[in-house]
Amino acid sequence: QRARINLPDSTTIILNAHSSLRYPATWHATTPREFELQGEAYFEVAARPAGPQHGFIVHTEDGDIQVVGTRFVVHERGRGTRVVVAEGGVRVAVAEGATVGQGPAVETLLRPQQLLEFQKGDSVLRPQVVNLGLYTTWWREELVLEDTPFEHLVRRLEETYGVKVEVRDQRLLQRTLSGSLENRNLDVITKALAKALRTRVVRQGQVIIFGI
């Protein structure tokens, strides 16, 4: 189940399934708004005045994402953090120690259409330009593909639905797909993908098998 959170300053947060977001019930005017995320969330942050007291910070196990006014997605499920910026910009500070929100080791600024994957303690950050549709449209119950490798879609399905995807025919992983899919029903999505790839798909509980 996805959850929609509307903050008093008109900021909108959409929390993906199998995710949690912790934040104070109230904020003081002189302190930044801070959140702790596990899982995935889309943020549409209202423009805020300059200054540290007006900051908007998302903490994950791997580091901090600092924002002024922007649209972006943060994903963290215990295997590193991924940040994708749709509009505006965010500053990422990688955590050096074991405590969430403390000890930044390395920082970088992300611009629109950039993706960054990082883990706690990373010393080099390599942003890359990506197709936003795969990462920023799930909250609209849609996946937009543009020459998207099937390998990326496999990961997306696992993250969104909490399933294990097996691909028996490894050649399928490098196939690319374009178009859009409704992101509402796992069985409908997997059957549509199998048809596009001209292969078979079988579901066995929480395991999806392609290329059998």
> Does 64 map to a domain?
yes
Distances (CA, A) of 152 to 50, 54, 144, 145, 147: 37, 36, 12, 10, 11
Residues 119, 152, single domain; the answer is no
Domain CATH for 159: 3.55.50.30
Domain end residue (candidates: 129, 149, 182) = 129
- What's the number of domains the chain is made of? 2
- In tens, the pLDDT along 27-54 reads 777 788 899 999 999 999 987 666 555 6
- Burial class from Cβ neighbours inside 10 Å (0-12, 13-18, 19+) for residue 110 reads buried
Domain CATH for 20: 2.60.120.1440
Q: Which domain holds residue 184?
A: 141-210
Residues 69, 149, single domain; the answer is no
pTM of the model: 0.78
Q: What gap in Å lies between CA 168 and CA 6, rounded to an integer? A: 43
Six-digit token string for 211? 């290329």
Residues 163, 85, single domain; the answer is no
- In tens, the pLDDT along 117-174 reads 999 888 889 999 988 888 888 888 888 888 889 998 998 899 888 899 999 999 999 9
> Does 124 map to a domain?
yes
